[in-house]
Amino acid sequence: MSGLEEEAEALDKRAVEMRAAEFVERRDGADWTDADEQRFAHWLEESSAHRVAFLRLNASWRRTERLVALKAPELRASSAPREARRFRFLPMAAAFVLAIVSGGLLTAYFSAPRYDTYATTIGGHETLKLHDGTRIELNTNTLVRIAQTQSRRLVKLERGEAYFDVHHDEKRPFIVVTDGGRIVDIGTKFSARVEGERLRLSLLEGRVRFETKDGSGRPHEVQLVPGETLVSAAGSITLSTKAPRELTSDLAWRSGMLVFHETSLAEAVAQFNRYNETKIVIVDPRASRETINGKLPTNDLEEFERMARNIFGLRAVKRGNELVLTR
């Protein structure tokens, strides 16, 4: 190849990238027509270079969707109808206040809905069914408070982990409240786990919005797409994408199992201990770093012990509430 040819080829590659970028942006616009779509499909078919350039740019373009979160939520168009609705009810509320005299009582009545409490013990697993068809599965050592009003369904996840299969109702939003922020369902299956201020949210299907405030009280919101996991802790939000297999493993508790892929023994023990009153302790730091694969029933202490013995040659000594594994 001569130097000139090479240069021409390099220029051509840059042109392909710019063209791909143009398609990426224009396809997302309102003025994209069927004719455009055809031209685009044709261009894609022309060469693999076109296709990979498009796939690559489009993947990062989709990620920039998140940038919308930088926009202050109150600027959103969707808040307008909410205002209008509130206004309509105002005269009626005013009449009510007059009749009852005590306005304070009225506000208290509406802002403090009655909560029912549901909890599981260590190793427990319960499924709650709401009238609207929503299912909530509570994992081990979990406590939720549920309030249902005319205008919304509220779940306070106070402790532990739950899986939500929500029957979407636009008029009665389903909201999960945690210390770290609120999860608003937009037609969804998701799971949430709290540990103190730390919240872990995984979306399996549909859409869900996470709302929180930063240290200075500024609101932030993030919309998740299926396969994403959000971790909110100490004022920071981390989003990651998980392979379907991993998400499935994370939810294996729903069928009473724990699944490990290249999990360190220390981490496996931590997970296992969530389900059992008897806590496993590993003293040997080298053994803690060993990794394991496979699955175990969440409450089968004996099986865990057998695995530790057969695979890692660890001995188990029972000491009060603890099962100590040593070399």
With contact defined as beta carbons under 8 Å apart, do 193 and 213 qualify? no
Question: CA 140, CA 144: separation in Å to the nearest integer?
Answer: 12
Among 46, 179, 197, 205, binds another protein (CB under 8 A): 205
Q: What's the closest the beta carbon of residue 255 comes to another protein, in angstroms?
A: 5
Greatest extent of the chain over all pairs of C-alpha atoms, in Å? 92
Question: Which 85-144 residues touch another protein, going by CB under 8 A?
Answer: none
Q: Which of 288, 244, 245, 284 is CA-nearest to residue 265?
A: 288
Cβ burial, residue 101 (10 Å; 0-12/13-18/19+): exposed
Instruction: Say which amino acid occupies 197.
Output: E
Question: CA 50, CA 315: separation in Å to the nearest integer?
Answer: 59
Among 122, 154, 257, 281, binds another protein (CB under 8 A): 257
Question: Cβ contacts of residue 327 below 8 Å, gap of 6+?
Answer: 284, 287, 313, 314, 315
Q: Which is nearer to another protein, 30 or 112 (CB)?
A: 30
According to the binding rule CB under 8 A, does residue 189 interact with another protein? yes
Give the Å distances, CA to CA, from 6 to 1, 11, 12, 18, 264. 6, 9, 10, 19, 50
According to the binding rule CB under 8 A, does residue 79 interact with another protein? no
According to the binding rule CB under 8 A, does residue 4 interact with another protein? no
Site track 31-60 with another protein (rule: CB under 8 A), x = hit: x-----x--xx--x--xxx-xxxxxxxxxx
Listed ranges 9-17, 85-93, 116-124, 174-182: which one lies at the site for another protein (CB under 8 A): 9-17
Q: Which is nearer to another protein, 1 or 90 (CB)?
A: 1
Among 237, 269, 287, 296, binds another protein (CB under 8 A): 237
Interacting residue ranges for another protein, rule: CB under 8 A: 1, 9-10, 13-14, 16-18, 21-22, 24-27, 29-31, 37, 40-41, 44, 47-49, 51-71, 189, 204-205, 222, 225-227, 236-241, 243-244, 247-248, 251-252, 254-255, 257, 259, 262, 295
